[in-house]
Structure 1
Amino acid sequence: MTDIAQVETLPDKLTSALDTVDPTALDCLQSSVAVVADWYHGPGTFSRMGAHLRFRPRPTDDALWTIEAETEPHLSAAVDAVGIRFTDTIRGADEARSAARTSLLLCVADAYELPWLPYFRREHMDHSFLLTSGDDASALMIDVYRNDTVHGPAEPTARRTGWKDLEPIMHSPRTRTTAVVPGTLPELQPRMVLRDNAQHLNDPHVPVVLDRYIEAYRTHPDQVLALRRMTLETWLLARSRQLHALWLQRAVGFRAARPAADHAKRCSDVSARAFFALRRVQAGRKASDVHHLLHELLADEAALARDLDLR
């Protein structure tokens, strides 16, 4: 359930969607898609975004690797999973005000430009929120993202915002706004999904990539940078594995999904250890061996996927 700081009475259907979405299992792009999914297709639909377990890190320009997907394919995969579609592309506040009278709008903008976030004027990253019509002068802005950041907490919120106040955001070159409508939910057979997960994570190529991934972090010359990035990596891992556990609970029941839930908890624990390791290095002390913990955690996913496939 999303405990949301709201300043207006929300539409009943939106309130119901907010009651069923778990923001602690979602990243800052999935969070808005989740609300739309449960709004259009009913409680728990959002968890379908977590059905597929994958480990596909890619190298980055700073000699590290990341499991973070690029924005456009990540967003596209999310909406496809939950049966919603993007229609019209909206440009500027005037177009948004007109479109919001009849459509729900999903915006992806630079968190650096969003004053309700702790990242405002501090960090650049893509972030999503929803807009719907409030009245002629204002929009209802919904952002259910929740995270304890180094700059302070990001809390779910719904607020009326003047269209005039939104103009700098809506006209920013970093902002992309689209209308979203219900589509057809894709067929999702749990047994086939679990078999596919097991095949992917037990591919012989995965351990090779895992070794390269961990070694890049272990040997990087700037360990403050490496551990800062590892903190993000393990946070993303923890959220994705928690989302998978939520989907599995709905698909096969709590008992059969227990190993996935336990694994998600391990991911959260390793994420906390990565943060503490970063703090130690920033203080000039030697970091604990979080690299070994992360390697062990990810290596165990092959056996976890096999186990879930056999249940």
Structure 2
Amino acid sequence: MSPARTTPGTRPALTADPLSEAIRGIDTTALDCVQVNAAVLADAAHGPGTHLRLGARPRFAPRVPRPGRLPTVEQPPPEQIRSMEQPLGLTLEAGPTVTKGEELLRLLPEDGSPLYVVADAHRMPWLPYHGHQHMDHSVLLRSVEGGARVEAVDAYDNETPYGRAEPVVCVLERAEVATLFDGSPAMPVTVRHAPPALTDVPRTLEDNAREAARLLEDDAAGRYTAAFRDHPDQSEACTALLLETWLLNRSRRLHAAWTARSLPGSALARATAEQAAAWDALAGQCYLAVRRVQRGRPAPPHIHTTLAELLRADARFAVEAARPGTGGAMHHQPAQVRETVVDTVADVLGTHRETVAATDDLSRLDGFASFQMVETVERLEDAYNVQFAPGDLEPAALRRVGGLVDLILRTAGAGVVHQ
């Protein structure tokens, strides 16, 4: 993982294949270097937005990797890979670690499908970490040209101390790839598709709330923050805290994106977006703190207070979201349901919400055809945790914002939910 600041940037040209198309539809700056390439596989297999399910549970579960070390929210890659399987609809089978490049390449599927690999970023020449920093990093490797060459697909996006990492697809000679991975541990992960788990939004909010209530009760945020504030080596503590806030920042941005898709236009979606922006600001402040400490100056003392406040605010939002009358339940007011419908259609079409709101017949909008109608219906069912009756799916109703609003109010009021 990288502790550097994240800023959006111009992406390099990508080839027109399913993996590259998936990258174009992902905000790769909201994912870490293990998640990001699994997200590409999921969206390529199950459609755009599948990867957002990784943001449904904004967990805070710090661990102490070894006695005497600072706590970290970073998961070991094997644990993280296991936790990604169900939401992404992927079966990810990690094989034994290999240290010989040719042995790794023999595991590449002959049909040209990708092998997901976690290895050392220090060995990957398309990354700015190459030759500079050792860290676990994922990449997708595919055999091309009958096995003579190997294609590396890496969607990682981050500003690093050594330059910018951007999504890339590059083709290397097989012998070159074998040399890159010789003598360095690499974990091959075979990939199979599975049905993605259906997200029950209200139940997810309830699970988040229970977990958050426990964190508030035992003040996990206070203990975690104090470990960095009170550490005798503030240079080490600030450097570690930069990585922590980088990881927490990305996870909260991903949670905000999931909330915006699952509960578009809601007060909860707006609140999580504001909270994500606050995390982004803290990550920048921690970067400044590291630079100051490196120059022999004291770190800004407010970073620890702000960190604890943001963690507690995360938990309070999660608890509040599951209470009756908040979170998803607030959408049962007609005006709020209308906002949700407009936002959902605008997101599906990639157009301005004002354009949707001003249109009587959605079929007149560019791109609104059968596929987009179906995607809109499915998103609204997921957002309200309902299942529209087949007899209610009349094209005349589905082509109007008002028709969709009426359908949601009628179905939600009848309590017709997903099973």
TM band (smaller chain):
over 0.9
Q: 2:251 — aligned with what?
A: 240
SS in 2 for 1:34: helix
Match of 1:59 among 56, 64, 75: 64
Q: Which amino acid is 2:187 matched to?
A: R
- Separation (CA, whole Å) in 1 of partners of 2:111 and 2:182: 19
Work out the CA distance in 2 between the residues paired with 1:131 and 1:206: 45
- Deviation track 1:138-162 (CA, whole Å, cap 9, x = no partner) reads 1221101011111221111111111
Aligned residues: 308
Residues 78/192 of structure 1: CA separation in 2 closer, same or farther (3 Å cut): same
- 2:122 is matched with 112
Letter in 1 for 2:293: V
The question of whether the paired residues in 1 share the 8 Å contact of 2:248 and 2:279 is answered with yes
CA distance in 2, matches of 1:133, 1:264: 39
2:96 matches 1:86? no
Displacement, 1:204?
5.4
Match 2:312 to one of 296, 299, 304: 299
Q: Which residue does the alignment assign to 2:153? A: 142
RCO higher in structure (CA 8 A, sep ≥6)? 1
- The structure-2 alpha-carbon separation of the partners of 1:27 and 1:200, relative to structure 1 and needing over 3 Å to count, comes to same
For residue 176 of structure 2, what is the amino acid of its counterpart?
D
- CA RMSD in angstroms comes to 2.1
CA contact (8 A) 2:225 2:304 kept: yes
Per the normalisation by structure 1, the TM-score is: 0.92
Q: Whose strand proportion is higher, 1 or 2? A: 1
Aligned equivalent of 1:215: 226
Runs of 4+ off more than 6 Å: none
Describe the SS at the equivalent of 1:66: coil
2: distance between equivalents of 1:235 and 1:118? 18
Asked whether the 8 Å contact 2:81–2:92 carries over to 1, the reply is no
Equivalent residues in 2 for 1:1-311, closer than 5 Å: 4-6=11-13, 9-11=15-17, 13-61=18-66, 62-87=68-93, 89=95, 92-97=103-108, 99-136=109-146, 137-203=148-214, 207-256=218-267, 257-289=269-301, 290-309=303-322, 310-311=326-327
- Quickly say closer, same or farther: Cα 1:83–1:284, change in 2 above 3 A: same
Q: Which runs of 5+ in 2 are unaligned?
A: 1-7, 328-419
TM-score by length of 2: 0.69
Shift of residue 108, structure 1, vs aligned partner = 0.6
> Partners of 1:208 and 1:308 in 2: how far apart?
20
How much has 1:5 moved relative to structure 2?
Answer: 2.4
Larger Cα-atom Rg? 2
Q: Distance in 1 between matches of 2:105 and 2:289?
A: 48
Once the two structures are TM-superposed, the CA of residue 18 in structure 1 deviates from its matched residue by 1.5
